[in-house]
Amino acid sequence: MAPVGVKILSILAYIGAVVTLILGIVMLFGANFLSGFLSQWVPVSGFLVGSMIVFVGVVFIALAVLDYFVGRGLWSGQNWARILVLIFSVLSVLGSLRHFDIVNIVIDAVIIWYLGFNKEAVNYFK
C-alpha cells in the first residue's frame, strides 16, 4: 500500500498532466487564432508566432505524457519515478533561488525531504 504522501504526489502529477494536456491541445488547435491575436503586439510575422505556439503545444503534450507516467510510476512504487521527481525538485529549487521564490523553495524542499529521506516513502520504492 502506497504511503499517503506518495498518493498525494501521484494525484498531483495526474492533475498536472491533465492541465498541461489541455493547454497543449489549446495551443495546437488555437495557434492560428493566437498568432493573429499576438501578432498585433509582437513585431514578427504571424507565421513565426504560430509556429512557436504549435511547438510549445507539442512540448506541453509531451510533458503531459511524462507527467502521467510519473504519476503512475509513483503510485505503483517505481523507483525511476521517485528519482525523476527528486531531480526535477532539485532543479526547481535551484531555479527558484534566482528569484528567491520562497513558497516554491519550501514546497520542493518538502518533496525532496519526503521522497529522499522519509523512511516510509523510501522503503515503498524498494
pLDDT digits (tens, 9 = 90+) for 41-88: 666 666 677 788 889 999 999 999 999 999 999 999 999 999 999 999
H or E element, residue 108 = helix 102-117
Residue 99 C-beta-side C-alpha neighbours within 13 Å? 7
pLDDT score for 42: 66
For the chain, helix, strand, coil in percent to 5 are 85, 0, 15
Residue 66, pLDDT score: 98
Whole-angstrom distance, CA of residue 104 vs CA of residue 96: 7
The range of the structural domain enclosing residue 95 comes to 4-124
DSSP 3-state assignment of 123?
Answer: helix
Q: How confident is the model at residue 34 (pLDDT cuts 50, 70, 90)?
A: confident
What's the total number of domains in the chain? Answer: 1
- For residue 33, the model assigns a pLDDT of 76
CA pseudo-torsion sign 50, 56, 58, 64 = negative
pLDDT score, position 99: 85
pLDDT at 100: 86
CA end-to-end span of the chain, whole Å? 13
Cα–Cα distance measured from residue 14 to residue 20, given in angstroms and rounded to the nearest whole number: 10
Q: What is the per-residue pLDDT across 89-125, written as a single tens digit (0 to 9) for each?
A: 999 999 998 888 899 999 999 999 999 999 999 999 9
